[in-house]
Chain A
């Protein structure tokens, strides 16, 4: 073990860089001072209480939740269709289609945001609203959804569907009774991941949000006021907790899906 001390130190420093800044969030969120600075002045929950009574924040939160929920449902539904198509025997343009669908994963978000803004305002001449944010979020979530669901669908024995049809079921019956239950953990996992991506997104929402800001956009707005910083810390604490919780739940369902299909685990998020 001794000879690996260099690698160990590297791992510790690496993790510290990753998580130390985030650990500062709860530290100052519960600090009884309006200024973000050491030394700490004492324990307080007043910032959380203030969050509780800020109406604009509640509106932003509700907006974000609505957008994230609808986005997760849309992206996952489309992801199921794409992943199912991926299991079909080769059809013309299959590789190309699946490749292009995954492209938003590597495009800079700001490029997508500007392009969508132009389409919405100049080409379609629509007003910005929650729906424009949902459409954009769906676009960036679909690659994640497909990546997760592809795994679930590719793991299935291609004979399952034929076996169900052989036993008298229609194609839809075979999908509903056999395929769907087997990929359900993947679907839950996809819903949660898309929900988090939408909830966390700032760049796209900043460009495409209408009169009602989403949570990250609202937080960005707050940063202009120095005395609002502890509020952001408190809010950040809550968001980080929720995100980690959702990620753990998503991973739990993904692993359960792998176990259920009786397969060896390869990859995943956690």
Chain B
């Protein structure tokens, strides 16, 4: 396993991209380190694929700088960049065999026929398709096509592997398998991966770092845990995982940040709980469902309580999601509970108490 080094492999400075009047990328600044698994996450139309295609060389920049490994890429066409791409459609050439597909990029390498055949066999072995070389490309399943696309891109030992929504065409089971395999593969080869996805869960599972994009700009860039626990804006908080958004008031009392949340109450929070900064006045407070709890009959707690009534119950097997109506809060609070031994699943209409404390809160000024 190769640990990510500190040197930036890819640098983008003030990157803008226009399509006519449409402003697709609005001043992207980005550094991606050697060996990193980096994800571009966002809703469709946010510019994540455009950014990836810019790095690949399929799209030019309207302004700004893109450098890979310290080299400016402005004059370097796609076929001479140290990047390779796994396309959303996989783009497996249907008239060639699996081995011919994987070996396609070796055409221009000065290797003997034997060396090439060995490289192809190794690449297929690496993605778990050993012995598939002679098969016709159009006879493969979705998962196999993806592996061929990976082998075809990795055989050239690129500095960066670009993945454009590579798992979106697969069914859920296959997708989960491939997520784990991709992580392992990335660790083994030590190549920098840049993944484009609209699936926040996929980004959280796979990435070292994630850039969340909206409307052509990066809204927040952080590791998965920071992104999930400490979103800087309401949009990021809503896009990643489930988040209760409550109206509140925030104020500074000396060095302390005091938050008054509608329906729950007042409390002091740490500075890191306001990652977007503190603007005194009306604000939105985010609360993750798993940082809240329900007080079951016979239990006691030292945490704070709010009265409520169960409004909706969604049973997931390992978890139960409750929507609880709390006086003073317009929308019901979503609360997730682990289904532990001996713990009942409450019915709709049951009066209950919501358990919370100051550590549950994230101040979202923006």
Interface residues of A (CB under 8 A from B): 157, 159-160, 162-170, 177-178, 181-182, 260-262
Contact = CB atoms under 8 A, between A and B. Distances in A.
A182 B95 contact: yes
B91 A168 contact: no
A165 B104 CA distance: 10
A170 B107 CA distance: 12
18 contacts: A157-B91, A159-B91, A162-B85, A163-B87, A163-B91, A164-B104, A166-B78, A166-B84, A167-B79, A167-B104, A167-B152, A168-B79, A168-B107, A168-B108, A169-B79, A169-B108, A182-B93, A260-B138
Most buried by A among B77, B80, B83, B104: B104
B54 interface: no
Nearest to B19: A89
Contact of A168 (B89, B94, B138, B156): B156
Contacts of A182: 93-95
Nearest to B88: A159
A159 B87 contact: yes
Contacts, number: 61
A181 B101 CA distance: 14
A177 B56 CA distance: 21
A166 B56 contact: yes
Given A167-B156, A168-B107, A168-B108, A157 B84 contact: no
Contact of B91 (A162, A169, A177, A262): A162
Nearest to A160: B91
Contact of B105 (A162, A168, A178, A260): A168
* Residue from the set B83, B88, B89 with the largest chain A CB neighbour count within 10 Å: B89
B95 A170 contact: no
A162 B77 CA distance: 11
A181 B95 contact: yes
B18 interface: no
Contact of B94 (A170, A177, A260): A260
A165 B79 contact: yes
B58 interface: yes
A261 B94 contact: yes
Contacts of B56: 166
Interface in B154-190: 156
Contacts of B91: 157, 159-160, 162-163
A58 B363 CA distance: 93
A162 B87 contact: yes
Interface residues of B, number: 24
Contacts of B138: 260, 262
A160 B79 contact: no
A159 B79 contact: no
Most buried by B among A162, A167, A260: A167
Interface residues of A, dominant DSSP: helix
Contacts of B107: 168-169, 177
Interface in B54-80: 56, 58, 77-80
A166 B108 CA distance: 13
B18 to A, nearest CB: 15
In the A-B complex, the 10 residue pairs with the smallest Cβ-Cβ separation, listed nearest first, are A167-B105, A159-B91, A163-B91, A159-B87, A262-B138, A165-B79, A166-B85, A181-B95, A165-B78, A168-B79
B95 A162 contact: no
A168 B95 CA distance: 19
B156 A160 contact: no
Contacts of A168: 79-80, 105, 107-108, 156
A178 B93 contact: yes
B87 A167 contact: no
Given A163-B85, A166-B153, 14 more contacts: A159-B89, A162-B78, A162-B91, A163-B93, A165-B79, A166-B79, A167-B84, A167-B105, A168-B79, A177-B104, A178-B93, A178-B95, A182-B95, A262-B138
A29 B181 CA distance: 72
A124 to B, nearest CB: 42
B85 to A, nearest CB: 5
Contacts of B79: 165-170
Greatest chain B CB density within 10 A among A168, A260, A261 is at A168
Nearest to A167: B105
A182 B95 CA distance: 7
B333 to A, nearest CB: 45
B152 A262 contact: no
Contacts of A159: 87-89, 91
A181 B137 CA distance: 15
B227 to A, nearest CB: 30
A182 B83 CA distance: 26
Contacts of A165: 77-79
Nearest to B164: A159
Contacts of B80: 168
A168 B80 CA distance: 6
A9 to B, nearest CB: 44
A18 to B, nearest CB: 38
